[in-house]
């Protein structure tokens, strides 16, 4: 069971910030897919939960020139189903549709997933591969600066993600080797070509999402699966657990990357 806490519901960004600032040790509540589970296990003990579900301007998906902007409280199901997003970036819609199960997809929010920065989460791969910009109540954060470690991001105390702007790529694809129980990525690789530049982002394999620079270099000269057939990431430092050893994850990175490149073509 959980420790006692005070539940608060905000109806605006300013109100949410004020409620969090007034709390002894508060936390924002987005979808709650991770936070509530850790509270049930008594691994987290916030004094207050500030629910963001009532803030209307954090929800919504829109096309803005050469980008698609996704509100932080947009659910995974909404991202998967949005017609404009699916038309512009089908890889992102497909990624969202492969997260968890229907209950998770309808409750979980993109902003919460990014802020949580689970090393096996899917959205960080999309943020990094597509070169997205994470917009907060304080600033804009470039994709390469956002994720700093396991469950760690560049967000400051009380800083709230408001939306994420994804540039529309010429091609993109996400290939995931999923844990069959949780649907988290044992290894997931997104490959994207945007403005003639190739980015390869890997999730699930390491302590945080990372770019595969050697693969990017190889694909810049020859955008084909064969170009990276012999390009491998080192196993040293990769995750090793009951689901997959580090050397197997290293192997999967290459396999998933080749599948992603093929999916782009």
Q: CA torsion sign, 37 to 39 to 44 to 49?
A: positive
Alpha-carbon gap, residue 45 to 5, rounded angstroms = 8
Please list the alpha-helical segments (H only) found in the chain: 13-22, 35-40, 76-81, 83-88, 90-97, 102-107, 110-116, 123-129, 143-146, 213-221, 246-264
pLDDT of residue 208: 98
The token pair at 225 is 């699966």
User: Does the reported pTM lie above 0.85?
Assistant: yes
Alpha-carbon gap, residue 27 to 20, rounded angstroms = 7
Alpha-carbon gap, residue 125 to 164, rounded angstroms = 13
Q: CA torsion sign, 151 to 152 to 154 to 160?
A: positive
- How does pLDDT run across 37-63, given as a tens digit for each residue? 999 999 999 999 999 999 999 999 999
- How does pLDDT run across 124-159, given as a tens digit for each residue? 999 999 999 999 999 999 999 999 999 999 999 999
Q: Which long-range contacts (CB under 8 A, 24 or more apart) does 180-185 make?
A: 182/100, 183/98, 183/99, 183/100, 183/101, 183/104, 184/118, 184/120, 184/121, 185/120, 185/121, 185/122, 185/125
| Residue labelled with tokens 């995750």 | 239
| Residue labelled with tokens 């073509």 | 265
Q: What does the pLDDT average to over 230-240?
A: 97
pLDDT of residue 1: 78
- How does pLDDT run across 64-100, given as a tens digit for each residue? 999 999 999 999 999 999 999 999 999 999 999 999 9
- How does pLDDT run across 184-224, given as a tens digit for each residue? 999 999 999 999 999 999 999 999 999 999 999 999 999 99
The token pair at 193 is 């070509």
Residues 6+ apart with CB under 8 A from 236: 246
Q: What does the pLDDT average to over 11-31?
A: 96
């Amino acid at each position: 069971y959980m420790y006692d806490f005070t539940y608060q519901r905000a109806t605006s960004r300013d109100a949410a910030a004020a409620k969090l600032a007034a709390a002894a040790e508060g936390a924002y509540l987005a979808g709650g897919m991770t936070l509530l589970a850790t509270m049930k296990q008594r691994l987290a003990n916030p004094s207050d939960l500030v629910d963001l579900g009532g803030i209307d301007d954090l929800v919504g998906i829109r096309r803005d020139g050469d980008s698609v902007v996704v509100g932080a409280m947009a659910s995974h199901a909404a991202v998967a189903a949005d017609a404009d997003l699916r038309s512009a970036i089908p890889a992102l819609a497909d990624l969202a549709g492969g997260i968890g199960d229907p209950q998770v997809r309808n409750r979980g929010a993109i902003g919460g997933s990014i802020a949580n920065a689970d090393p096996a989460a899917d959205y960080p791969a999309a943020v990094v591969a597509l070169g997205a910009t994470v917009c907060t109540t304080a600033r804009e954060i470039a994709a390469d600066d956002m994720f700093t470690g396991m469950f760690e991001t560049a967000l400051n105390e009380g800083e709230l993600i408001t939306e994420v702007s994804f540039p529309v790529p010429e091609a993109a694809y996400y290939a995931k080797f999923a844990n069959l129980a949780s649907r988290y990525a044992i290894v997931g690789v997104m490959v994207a070509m945007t403005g003639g530049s190739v980015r390869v982002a890997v999730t699930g394999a390491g302590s945080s999402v990372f770019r595969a620079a050697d693969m990017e270099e190889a694909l810049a000269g020859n955008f084909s699966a064969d170009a990276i057939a012999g390009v491998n990431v080192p196993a040293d430092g990769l995750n090793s657990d009951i689901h997959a050893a580090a050397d197997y994850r290293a192997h999967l990175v290459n396999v998933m990357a080749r599948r992603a490149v093929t999916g782009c073509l």
